Amino acid sequence: MMPRPMPLSEPSIARVGRSRERDPNEPRHVFERGAMKLRAFTLCLMVTAGAPAASGGPPAVHPDATDWRQLFAPDLSDAIAPAGVWSWSNGILGATEDQCIWTRDRYSDFTLDLEFRNAEGTNSGVFVYGSDPKNWIPNSIEIQIADDYFPKRANSPKSWQCGAIFGHKPAIRSNVRKAGEWNRMTITCRGPMIRVMLNGEVINEIDLRQWTSAKNNPDGTAIPPWLSKPLAELPTRGHIGLQGKHAGAPIEFRNIRIRPQAPR
């Protein structure tokens, strides 16, 4: 299946609003009423398609995910995870060990919306396009979750900090809240394009097709050796995963919802 392109850009949509010209025999009030309807339709199209704002960037708001499907069932019957490690408690999903949980389903184009809460020193992540849950490190793409206030995390490479495409592309800035506070993250995947919003700000975007090397990023920085496959060669369809209690620091998730944009 060919990857679906990202939503229409504003210039593309704006052209729709300029495509009708007044017929000389048409009364002006009729033309103006029709033009108003067309502008309203164009605005609706921009909202529905997720078109960028006037600045040229993506919408600076998280979606209303109230009616989206939960990523994991209350009994985790739709998950791939070691027994007894992951569990729900009062609407919060957490793990007792450094083990991942994966969806049984595979997803291609989708938007994932969730909340997470770090503990002091948390080092976790969200994985997309996972093709092998047993050997996930080189076979998935990690959107990093970390307590950037913790000295060890604060002094780590920028591409290891919260909101980064781990090992490949740093976030434009750290927008994570302090340990103990809830954060909201929205991840949008459209084929090779991945966009990350954290706490109301788009902090990362990546085009996987530009990452043709497994040794160096396009900006020349080194890629960790355990990420042994170029991102450009990874499939853009796969399992979605969450990392557990890594290095002894807990992580909690809630309101984990997904809106698929293409059939499985």
Q: How confident is the model at residue 19 (pLDDT cuts 50, 70, 90)?
A: very low
Q: Is the pLDDT of residue 183 over 50?
A: yes
228, 214 contact by CB (below 8 A): yes
Exposed, middle or buried: residue 64 (CB in 10 Å: 0-12, 13-18, 19+)?
Answer: exposed
The Cα–Cα gap between 79 and 240 comes to: 10
Mean of the per-residue pLDDT values of the chain: 84
The Cα–Cα gap between 156 and 159 comes to: 8
Q: How confident is the model at residue 33 (pLDDT cuts 50, 70, 90)?
A: low
The Cα–Cα gap between 27 and 109 comes to: 46
Task: Concatenate the DSSP letters of all residues of 145-164 into one string.
Answer: EE-TTSHHHHTS-GGGSTTS
**pLDDT score at 119:** 97
Q: Is the pLDDT of residue 48 over 80?
A: no
pTM: predicted TM-score of the whole model, two decimal places = 0.78
Give the type of residue at 169. Answer: K
Cα–Cα–Cα angle for 100, 103, 104, rounded to 5 degrees: 120
Q: How confident is the model at residue 1 (pLDDT cuts 50, 70, 90)?
A: very low
250, 91 contact by CB (below 8 A): no
The dotted CATH code for 69-260 is 2.60.120.560
Spell out the domain ranges in the chain.
1-59, 69-260
* Tens-place pLDDT, residues 50-100: 433 333 445 568 999 999 999 999 999 999 999 999 999 999 999 999 999
CB atoms within 10 A of CB 223: 20
103, 114 contact by CB (below 8 A): no
* Tens-place pLDDT, residues 216-253: 999 999 999 999 999 999 999 999 999 999 888 999 99
Residue whose structure tokens are 């929205």: 186
What residues form DSSP beta bridges with 206? 194
**pLDDT score at 197:** 97
